[in-house]
Amino acid sequence: MKVLVIYSNDGKEKVVALREEIARRFGEDTVLRLHSTDRKKSLLRHVWHKDAVKMMKLADVIVYAVSPNSSTNENVNWELKKALKLQRHIVYLPLEPGLKPENPCLYKFDNNTKTSKCLAEKLSDEEALYTHIQNFNNDAHIGLFRETIDTAVLLEQYKLFLETSENLVSRRQDVNSFYISANTALITIGAGIFTAAPEASLVSKLLVILALSCPGILLNVSWRKMLHSYYINNKGKLKILSMIETKLAASLYDGEWKAMKNKYSKIKYTSFTENEKLPPLVFIFFFVAAILACLSALFYIYRHHFGL
């Protein structure tokens, strides 16, 4: 589990001690830290923002350490808004008794109860936070298993769920084939414009290329988002399979993953998703280049025609 703590300077001393205790109990790599920058310098603000977003995406839980001045801190409010936008799991921990977050961004009006509901889960004290982390590490938050487990039934469920994972891979390949065919069709139509219609003016041809390139970019952006969705879905399925294997004779998926990520291996592992995301990126660059070339040619024709 990865933990990122959001805090203001008046609670820094307690947060430092909190992070040290988390690192001692669960390992140094559990705590995520932003790079040290002077947030008061506007020139470095974009560097801090970029680093903060990166850490938020890595974090499994974001702990908001509430101190007396944290609710009015500009940087804290920015971090909370960004965490909510990224749909991160946020909990808040009062550093002093009686404190609660007063940040407006953390509250949403509930039409059912006619009251404002806090979007962050409250932790009563530090021990509650440590329990929260421990439960996450033990996957207790998923609630997969019942109190009594029939191994034979579990094995059958494992086989059925494994089939859904294999079907997901098959569907992803079909999606890739569709998008490749669609891109090929757009490029073929665009290339055919210059050969199949010699009587058409150059301006008309350039405008058609522009008309094809814009949806081509949108098509490939959609492709990349689709691949990311499949990646998240497949990651969840593999997690469930791995959890089931802890109740069986061998943990095959965990063993395979450790073998591929072995630090002594000279072969670097690259995920399928990373490789699959390259073709749509190449097509995006191609269509962007086509748009820039067409715009440059149209601008040249315009200047030449009007003698500018």
Residue boundaries of the structural domains of the chain: 3-137, 151-306
Q: Where does 3-137 sit in CATH, by number? A: 3.40.50.450
Spatial CB neighbours of 276, under 8 Å, sequence gap ≥ 6: 172, 176, 227
**Residue at 267: amino acid letter:** I
Assess contact for 20 and 56: CB atoms under 8 A. Answer: no
Residue 2 and residue 58 in contact, taking contact as beta carbons nearer than 8 Å: yes
Are 6 and 35 in contact by the 8 Å Cβ rule? The answer is no
Task: Give 5-54 pLDDT, tens digit per residue.
Answer: 999 999 999 999 999 999 999 999 899 988 755 544 554 566 788 889 99
Residue 153 has pLDDT above 50, yes or no: yes
CB atoms within 10 A of CB 186: 21
Over residues 178-213, the pLDDT tens digits come to 999 999 999 999 888 777 766 668 888 888 899 999
Q: What is the mean pLDDT of residues 132-139?
A: 85
Supply the pLDDT for residue 50.
Answer: 87
pLDDT digits (tens, 9 = 90+) for 225-250: 999 899 889 888 888 888 888 888 88
Alpha helices in the chain (DSSP H): 12-26, 42-58, 74-85, 126-137, 151-196, 202-245, 252-260, 272-276, 278-306
**pLDDT at 257 exceeding the cut of 60:** yes
Residue 289 clears pLDDT 60, i.e. is over it:
yes
Q: Which residues of 207-244 are buried (b: 16+ CB within 10 A; e: fewer)?
A: ebbbebbeebbebbeebbebbeebbeebeebeebbbbb
Task: Give 68-88 pLDDT, tens digit per residue.
Answer: 999 999 999 999 999 999 989
Q: Is the alpha carbon torsion for 83, 232, 288, 178 positive or negative?
A: negative
Question: How buried is 183 (Cβ within 10 angstroms: 0-12 exposed, 13-18 middle, 19+ buried)?
Answer: buried
Helix (H) or strand (E) holding 5: strand 3-6
Mean pLDDT value across the chain: 86
Query: Average pLDDT of 146-159?
Result: 86
Pairing between strand 107-110 and 3-6? unpaired
